[in-house]
């Protein structure tokens, strides 16, 4: 497992920069459910995912969650190095959604590289802009989309991530993902069941009519 | 009016870069209400505000607006050069909220400077992170705050911007600002009036009890 294979800007770095990265980067693994980063007090460094899936979410004052975006193999996470990112005043939490392995680049080194290299700085630019686009999409969803469409879209998204129409998913988990209350989600799932789109079991949702869910989801599908 | 006085990274640019900026930047003025940038098709360049106030907002599919953030003197707007910003997949509209004057730096030149200079790229980084922080704040508001607190906070914000407790503001305008429906805002303003916090006139809202509004706004005040 070589860091060089996971950084798209590697070839644009000079020998000293490559050297410092190789000497400082850690290669880590963590179990499903591990909290990898928790709020802006935390500055664990830049994470480069080599295997598995991470979920980035925020917490409201009352502890309600909403998923902002997910990270997959080869994705880089810069908000885990929030101390490096000037202008960031929000807190996110990053959790391993499956067993994960990743490189961890220390914040100080990454700050140095951003200062020295316009290529690295511009790469980070694009990354932040992409994450901001995810948040803008979510804002649009929350403000203007109906909850039934959002639940349908979330179920289709989960089915694609898990490559299965049998989802191990509690109403509580779905509520956390969508930033809603469990009661709201339960009501919505029962409605989808009554329409013959899903069937509900204990801690499980089975997709019965993907085309129907897709129609309902409409613009809420990414 | 010198561009050099408005760019914090000016001293870190080399002679050629300063020269290209001086030769390419336009100095423009526009009347209150002018749409300065409209969606991602538009790439008018980077704007550096020297006087007045701009409002950045998004439009839902159905044409409902919500204010993302405002720009004041010395603020730089990079989303008006959206073609330069890789990773940006959302559209914003930027309108002059008062008569404004600003420098306009062509997108192509700005892209060159970002490529050449880590200082410029990192400045843009910070800028995008700040805007993303604004949007995260808004997301939190929309998801978790009560509309009465949001209206109270918006009225206090307007009063501060206008330096007056007599606001010329229609229910329609306030609804657009908050991404809500006019009927919802009207109901909320009537509630605030019944509580003795404001008085309502035709196209006007007068703040009667700032401390009371402040208590109601709570965490919704930025």
CB contact under 8 A, A125 and B58: no
The per-residue pLDDT for range A35-53, each reduced to its tens digit, is 999 986 778 899 999 999 9
A17 φ/ψ angles, rounded to the nearest 5 degrees: -65, -45
Residue that the structure tokens 């700040």 belong to: B130
Task: State whether residue B124 sits within 8 Å of chain A by CB.
Answer: yes
Mean pLDDT computed over every residue of chain B: 92
Do residues B71 and B120 touch, judged by C-beta distance below 8 A? no
Q: How many CB atoms lie within 10 A of CB A208?
A: 15
ipTM here: 0.84
pLDDT value for A181: 86
* Beta-ladder partners of A49: A102
pLDDT value for A142: 86
Q: Is the model's pLDDT at B156 over the cut of 80?
A: yes
pLDDT value for A185: 92
Q: A135 to chain B nearest CA, in Å?
A: 7
| pLDDT tier, A199 (very low <50, low <70, confident <90, very high otherwise) | very high
Q: Is the model's pLDDT at B41 over the cut of 80?
A: no
A12, A41, A4: which is closest to A113 by C-alpha?
A: A12
Q: Average pLDDT in the B44-71 region?
A: 91
Q: How many CB atoms lie within 10 A of CB A210?
A: 14
| pLDDT tier, B146 (very low <50, low <70, confident <90, very high otherwise) | confident
Q: Report CA torsion sign: A78, A79, A81, A82.
A: positive
Q: Is the model's pLDDT at B40 over the cut of 80?
A: no
pLDDT value for B19: 97
Strand order in the sheet with B93-96: B35-38, B93-96, B54-59, B65-71
Secondary structure letter of residue B81 according to DSSP: G
Q: Do domains B3-142 and B145-220 have the same CATH topology?
A: no
Best mutation target among B56, B78, B80, B136 (most A Cβ atoms within 10 Å) is B136
pLDDT value for A149: 92
CB contact under 8 A, A139 and B139: yes
Q: Is the model's pLDDT at A89 over the cut of 90?
A: no
Ranking A55-59, B62-66, B111-115 by mean pLDDT, the lowest is B62-66
CB contact under 8 A, B144 and A85: no
Task: State whether residue A88 sits within 8 Å of chain B by CB.
Answer: yes
Q: How far apart are CA B102 and CA B11, in angstroms?
A: 20
Q: Average pLDDT in the B6-15 region?
A: 97
* Beta-ladder partners of B38: B93
Q: A179 to chain B nearest CA, in Å?
A: 7
CATH number for the region B145-220 comes to: 1.10.10.10
CATH number for the region B3-142 comes to: 2.60.120.10
CB contact under 8 A, B132 and A132: yes
Cα B90 → chain centroid? 15
Q: A177 to chain B nearest CA, in Å?
A: 13
Q: How far apart are CA B185 and CA B173, in angstroms?
A: 10
The per-residue pLDDT for range A104-143, each reduced to its tens digit, is 999 999 999 999 999 999 999 999 999 999 999 899 888 8
Strand, helix or coil at A106?
Answer: coil
The per-residue pLDDT for range A13-26, each reduced to its tens digit, is 999 999 999 999 99
* Beta-ladder partners of A206: A166, A199
Q: Is the model's pLDDT at B126 over the cut of 90?
A: yes
Q: How many CB atoms lie within 10 A of CB A22?
A: 11
* Beta-ladder partners of B104: B26, B47
Q: Average pLDDT in the A7-34 region?
A: 96
Q: How far apart are CA A46 and CA A103, in angstroms?
A: 8
Q: Which residues contact B48 (CB under 8 A, 6 or more apart)?
A: B3, B6, B7, B74, B75, B76, B77, B102, B103, B105
Mean pLDDT computed over every residue of chain A: 92
Ranking A23-27, A84-88, A99-103 by mean pLDDT, the lowest is A84-88
Task: Read off the tokens for A201.
Answer: 């079991």
pLDDT value for B179: 87
| pLDDT tier, A93 (very low <50, low <70, confident <90, very high otherwise) | very high
| pLDDT tier, B210 (very low <50, low <70, confident <90, very high otherwise) | very high
The per-residue pLDDT for range A56-85, each reduced to its tens digit, is 999 877 778 899 999 999 999 999 998 888
Q: How far apart are CA A88 and CA A99, in angstroms?
A: 28
A177, A159, A167, A164: which is closest to A202 by C-alpha?
A: A167
* Helices B210-217 + B147-162 axis angle, to 10: 130
Q: Is the model's pLDDT at B95 over the cut of 90?
A: yes
| pLDDT tier, B67 (very low <50, low <70, confident <90, very high otherwise) | very high
Q: Average pLDDT in the A174-200 region?
A: 91
CB contact under 8 A, A132 and B58: no
Strand order in the sheet with A35-38: A35-38, A93-96, A54-59, A65-71
The structural domains of chain A, with segments of one domain joined by +, span 3-142, 145-220
- Kindly list the residues from chain A whose CB atom is less than 8 angstroms away from the CB atom of residue B85: 125-126, 129
pLDDT value for A119: 97
């Amino acid at each position: 497992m070589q860091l060089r294979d996971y950084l798209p800007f590697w070839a644009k770095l000079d020998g000293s920069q490559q050297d410092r990265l190789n000497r400082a980067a850690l290669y880590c693994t963590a179990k499903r459910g591990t909290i990898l980063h928790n709020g802006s007090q935390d500055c664990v460094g830049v994470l480069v995912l080599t295997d598995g899936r991470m979920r980035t979410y925020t917490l409201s004052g009352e502890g309600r969650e909403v998923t902002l975006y997910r990270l997959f193999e080869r994705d880089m996470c810069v908000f885990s190095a929030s101390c490096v990112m000037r202008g960031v005043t929000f807190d996110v939490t990053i959790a391993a959604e499956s067993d994960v392995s990743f490189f961890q680049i220390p914040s100080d080194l990454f700050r140095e590289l951003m200062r020295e290299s316009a290529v690295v700085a511009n790469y980070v630019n694009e990354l932040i802009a992409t994450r901001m686009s995810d948040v803008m999409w979510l804002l649009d969803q929350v403000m203007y989309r109906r909850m039934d469409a959002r639940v349908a879209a979330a179920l289709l998204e989960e089915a694609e991530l898990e490559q299965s129409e049998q989802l191990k998913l509690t109403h509580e988990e779905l509520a956390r993902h969508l930033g809603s209350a469990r009661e709201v989600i339960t009501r919505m799932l029962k409605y989808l069941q009554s329409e013959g789109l899903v069937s509900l079991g204990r801690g499980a949702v089975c997709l019965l009519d993907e085309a129907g869910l897709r129609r309902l989801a409409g613009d809420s599908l990414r």
